[in-house]
Amino acid sequence: MAAWLKALSNPHRLEIFRRLAAGCEPGATCSVDDEGSSSVGELCCTVSVAPSTVSHHLKELRGAGLIQMQRQGRRIECSIDREALDGLTRFFASLSVAGAKPKSRAAVRRTR
């Protein structure tokens, strides 16, 4: 989990991941053959950074196990690793406790 969150701590990587995840329907298996994938060139057009920087961010996301990449001819297709997305969903869902009362501002200040 720490590796996933570290990889997503960069705003550009988070945006790339978000764009790829938007094409991956909940409960579906996403692969490079699905609509839930984008080529590196397509991602460069949607994120306002240089193509070499996008490549670096993709390498970091792939290294963390958040995305998969597959070469198809001259194109490199990128897609979300569905297990990672499900793991992140379970992690954040486990943080919300049903019926828990939010702390008052005074209580939050005392815990800092």
Query: Considering the chain, what is the average pLDDT of its residues?
Result: 78
Please state, in angstroms and rounded to a whole number, the distance separating the CA atoms of residues 67 and 26. 16
User: If pLDDT is split at 50, 70 and 90, which confidence band does 13 have?
Assistant: very high
Across the range 73-77, mean pLDDT stands at 82
| 2-111: CATH topology | Arc Repressor Mutant, subunit A (1.10.10)
φ, ψ of residue 70 in degrees (nearest 5): -145, 130
Alpha helices (H) in 1-112, listed in sequence order: 2-8, 11-22, 40-46, 51-63, 82-95, 105-111
Indicate the range of 18-27, 42-51, 68-77, 89-98 predicted with least confidence.
18-27
**Statement: residue 45 has pLDDT above 60:** yes
**Statement: residue 4 has pLDDT above 90:** yes
